[in-house]
């Protein structure tokens, strides 16, 4: 009889644990839904705050701005909710999406097949391609991507550009949430050799520091890319709302206008017709 009571007690405990776990899982999956966002009246977005011109702070200002930041502010306005930005390193953005810390992530995040296994992307609003910043006086001894082997490549650990560096045998130099100036000066003085990154971001970074011994490599163009907002996987209603607003913003010229404001007159919402390596 005692054994039966012990068994029933154990069964009750196991059932309770299962019930709590199931409820917790359901809560975590629903708290970032469009319904939950609308009820609380606020959408939470993860971004770095250090990536000019897509997400950054104006000098001597606490206000966050940038191409994607302003797209997201307008998105929230049209969805009739407040917006809260959480600033974090690039490598923590996708983890924070899946853990429910943030509802969306935006930080010049490229759509890739590998990332699509873990998260969902909105329709793209930026088209670009990869370039390489090197030292101006000797191009860091690099003629093509094949010459990256053994070179010190600076970047974020989980970026698509660091994946390319690894593929070609470069030595990784990982930065957490450093500003563009730190990256660029390290190449200029030889602490690192190369920065692989987005063409538009690289051109603006160079323009901001014209006295540094750096340039965009004249012969390296690769990996045409599309950037978008990141949403938790299977959060389809929220994704639909976002894509609906992005379509409106494309059609009424808002995204083009913001692009020209932050990318020195360039319209990054248009695909480029170029030859790539």
CATH of the domain at 101: 3.40.190.10
Shared-domain flag, residues 216 and 235: no
What is the DSSP secondary-structure string of 251-263? HTTHHHHHHHHHT
Total domains, the chain: 2
Shared-domain flag, residues 94 and 157: no
The residue assigned the tokens 């560096």 is 165
The answer to the question of residue 149 being in a domain is yes
Shared-domain flag, residues 233 and 164: no
Shared-domain flag, residues 66 and 49: yes
Shared-domain flag, residues 42 and 91: yes
Comparing 124-133, 135-144, 182-191, 198-207, the range with the smallest average pLDDT is 198-207
Longest dimension (CA), the chain: 87
Shared-domain flag, residues 116 and 145: no
What is the DSSP secondary-structure string of 24-75? HHHHHHHTTSHHHHHHHTEEEEEE-S-BTTTBEE-TT---EESHHHHHHHHH
pLDDT in the model for residue 33:
94
Comparing 1-5, 9-13, 41-45, 209-213, the range with the smallest average pLDDT is 9-13
The answer to the question of residue 18 being in a domain is no
pLDDT in the model for residue 67:
97
The answer to the question of residue 94 being in a domain is yes
**Rounded average pLDDT over 24-31:** 56
Q: In this structure, are residues 201 and 108 in contact, taking their beta carbons and an 8 Å threshold?
A: yes
29 — pLDDT class (breaks 50, 70, 90): low
200 CB neighbour count, 10 Å cutoff: 23
Shared-domain flag, residues 133 and 146: yes
Shared-domain flag, residues 47 and 118: yes
The answer to the question of residue 7 being in a domain is no
**Rounded average pLDDT over 13-18:** 42
pLDDT above 80 for 217? yes
pLDDT in the model for residue 17:
42
Shared-domain flag, residues 198 and 245: no
pLDDT in the model for residue 23:
45
The answer to the question of residue 62 being in a domain is yes
Domain that residue 159 falls in: 127-224
Shared-domain flag, residues 62 and 96: yes
8 — pLDDT class (breaks 50, 70, 90): very low
The answer to the question of residue 28 being in a domain is no
Cis check for the bond before 53: say yes or no (omega within 30 of 0): yes
Encode pLDDT of 146-194 as tens digits: 999 999 999 988 888 999 999 999 999 998 778 888 989 999 999 999 9
User: Average pLDDT of the chain?
Assistant: 89
State what percent of residues in the chain have pLDDT above 70.
Answer: 89
Shared-domain flag, residues 167 and 245: no
Structure tokens at 60: 């001597």
23 CB neighbour count, 10 Å cutoff: 10
Encode pLDDT of 225-249 as tens digits: 999 999 999 999 999 999 999 999 9
2 — pLDDT class (breaks 50, 70, 90): very low
Structure tokens at 277: 């390596």
pLDDT above 70 for 107? yes
| Cβ neighbours for 124, distance < 8 A, ≥ 6 positions apart | 111, 226, 227, 228
pLDDT in the model for residue 28:
47
Measured between alpha carbons, how far is 160 from 174 in angstroms, rounded to an integer? 13
Domain boundary among 178, 203, 224: 224
176 CB neighbour count, 10 Å cutoff: 12
The answer to the question of residue 29 being in a domain is no
Domain boundary among 202, 224, 246: 224
State what percent of residues in the chain have pLDDT above 90.
Answer: 74
What is the DSSP secondary-structure string of the chain? -HHHHHHHHHHHHHHHHHHHHHHHHHHHHHTTSHHHHHHHTEEEEEE-S-BTTTBEE-TT---EESHHHHHHHHHHHHHT-EEEEEE--GGGHHHHHHHTS-SEE-SSPBP-HHHHTTEEE----EEEEEEEEEETTTGGG-SSGGGGTT-EEEE-TTSHHHHHHHHTTPEEEE-SS--HHHHHHHHHTTS--BEEEEHHHHHHHHHH-TTSSEEE-TT--EEEEEE--EEETT-HHHHHHHHHHHHHHHHTTHHHHHHHHHTTT--TTS-------
pLDDT above 50 for 9? no
The answer to the question of residue 211 being in a domain is yes
Shared-domain flag, residues 249 and 183: no
Domain boundary among 198, 224, 250: 224
């Amino acid at each position: 009889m005692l054994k039966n009571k012990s068994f029933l007690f154990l069964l009750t405990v196991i059932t309770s644990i299962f019930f709590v776990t199931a409820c917790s899982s359901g809560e975590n999956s629903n708290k970032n839904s469009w319904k939950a966002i609308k009820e609380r009246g606020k959408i939470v977005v993860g971004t770095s705050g250090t990536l000019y011109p897509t997400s950054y702070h104006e000098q001597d200002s606490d206000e966050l701005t940038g191409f994607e930041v302003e797209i997201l502010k307008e998105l929230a306005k049209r969805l009739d909710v407040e917006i809260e930005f959480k600033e974090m390193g690039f490598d923590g953005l996708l983890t924070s999406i899946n853990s429910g810390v943030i509802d969306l992530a935006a930080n010049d995040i490229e759509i890739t097949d590998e990332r699509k296994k873990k998260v969902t992307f909105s329709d793209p609003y930026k088209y670009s391609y990869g370039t390489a910043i090197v030292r101006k006086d000797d191009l860091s001894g690099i003629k093509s991507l094949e010459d990256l082997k053994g070179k010190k490549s600076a970047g974020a650990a989980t970026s698509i550009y660091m994946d390319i560096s690894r593929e070609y045998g470069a030595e990784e130099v990982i930065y957490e949430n450093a500003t563009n100036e730190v990256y660029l000066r390290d190449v200029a003085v030889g602490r690192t050799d190369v920065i692989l990154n987005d063409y538009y971001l690289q051109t603006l970074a160079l323009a901001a520091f014209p006295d540094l011994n750096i340039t965009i490599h004249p012969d390296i163009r690769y990996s045409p890319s599309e950037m978008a907002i990141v949403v938790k996987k299977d959060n389809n209603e929220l994704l639909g709302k976002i894509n609906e607003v992005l379509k409106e913003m494309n059609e009424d010229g808002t995204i083009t206008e913001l692009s020209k404001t932050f990318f020195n007159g360039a319209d990054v919402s248009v695909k480029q017709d170029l030859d790539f390596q």
